[in-house]
Structure 1
Amino acid sequence: MISRILFLVATLLANAACASEPVSELIEEQARNHYGAAVPLEAEITVMTTSGTLSKAVGISAFWIDRKSGKFLANAVSSDGNEHRIAGYAVVTKKVAVPTRKIFPGAILTDADLKVIDVPHMRVGTFSVTDLNALVGKEVKSLLSPGRQIMAQAIREPLAIKRGDQVSIHFRVNRLELSAPGRALNDAQLGEPLKVVNIMSNKIVLGVARPDGNVEIMQ
């Protein structure tokens, strides 16, 4: 009781030198202090009030939060020295890129396919790909649902060559370079090995996928 009175007195004295601040910012500061190292550097704290109408205060005289749910109770001190009970949730959130629509396998993700939303940190999957920049340009391997997190196993680098594609086979030895038309026998990303059949000799050779449908024969 005495400590609270001292806090109110100190708050009133400080109020002469400083202006009121948004209650949400004061609560966020309190929540960060309580969460401590549990809040990742890239995460944010989203404050939602369920009761209490005070928008600005000079300080928080008492604060309690349930770390699991984010539910909090706070006593905010207004500029006239009165305490106001504020209740709500201060949830640790992380920005996550999710699909804006249903996306089928084989599609290449673009900016228009994705949006960024705030997701409670505890609900972000271990294998979720959250960064929009890390998703754009990737090929979809399995069906993506709108608003759902994208797992790492659901995307991949686009295929450079697909099974059945007509390719150009290249073989180099010192300054000698030979080429022949071929057909891919399996899918491959850039730099991945694949089997191709030399259409001229009908022989199967092993090569490496290069850009523009080229295959470099492995020596």
Structure 2
Amino acid sequence: MRRGLRGVIPVLRTVAPVFLAGLLVADAAMADMRMAVVPKQIIYPGEEIEAAQLEEVEVTNPNLAKGYAERISAVTGLVTRKTLLPGRIILVSALREPFAVSRGSTVQLVFDDGSLVIRAAGTPLEDAAIGELIKVRNKDSGVIVSGTVMVDGSVHVVVK
């Protein structure tokens, strides 16, 4: 067995550096590899995207412009604005945050001017996500005010 190893060691000395260099080149190619998120099934407008509906694939078209989803985690929980087809890239512009308030529901209006805080019930006149500016009708007075949707679903009224 020892005799066979003596002949193998010189070969390993010449082959090993070439093999390691090949691994480094392959590793660099993996770093340059772009990924895109594509649906496994049709996803219709208004549907909330779930991770099980998606897969990540390698981008093989070098001319593909940016603006598409690259990671499943980046789009999970978002809602589609248009139909997403299986195997087609998902453009980020085709997605939106889920609505925090719905048109016609009841929300709390909050006006906060430092020492003065006024709260009232209101009805949103449109659907909106967190951080969006919307119009809301005060249920008591009927006055329409503008406000920003907050994380808790309330609307903070802005001063004109």
TM-score bracket relative to the smaller structure:
0.7 to 0.9
- Per the normalisation by structure 1, the TM-score is 0.58
Uncovered stretches (5+) of structure 1, i.e. residues with no partner: 1-12, 33-38, 44-93
- The question of 1:180 aligning with 2:129 is answered no
Q: For CA contacts below 8 A with separation 6 or more, give which structure has more relative contact order.
A: 2
**1:135 Cα deviation from its structure 2 partner:** 1.0
**1:196 Cα deviation from its structure 2 partner:** 0.2
- Per the normalisation by structure 2, the TM-score is 0.77
* Aligned residue runs from structure 1 range 1-219, under 5 A: 15-19=11-15, 26=22, 29=25, 41-43=31-33, 94-122=34-62, 124-219=64-159
Root mean square deviation, CA, Å: 3.0
Uncovered stretches (5+) of structure 2, i.e. residues with no partner: 1-8
| Cα distance in structure 2, aligned partners of 1:154 and 1:120 | 22
The Cα offsets for residues 160-183 of structure 1, whole Å up to 9 and x where unpaired, read as 223223211111222332211111
| Cα distance in structure 2, aligned partners of 1:122 and 1:40 | 15
1:211–1:121 Cα change, 3 Å: same
- For 2:52, what is the secondary structure of its paired residue? helix
Letter of the aligned partner of 2:77 in structure 1? Answer: G
| 8 Å contact from structure 1 (residues 166, 213) kept in 2 | no
Larger fraction in helix: 2
Larger fraction in strand: 1
| Cα distance in structure 1, aligned partners of 2:94 and 2:10 | 55
**1:15 Cα deviation from its structure 2 partner:** 2.5
Count of residues in correspondence between the two structures: 149
Q: Segments of 4+ in structure 1 off by > 6 A?
A: none
| Cα distance in structure 1, aligned partners of 2:101 and 2:68 | 27
**1:117 Cα deviation from its structure 2 partner:** 1.7
**1:28 Cα deviation from its structure 2 partner:** 9.0
Indicate the structure (1 or 2) with the bigger Cα radius of gyration. 1
1:185–1:143 Cα change, 3 Å: same
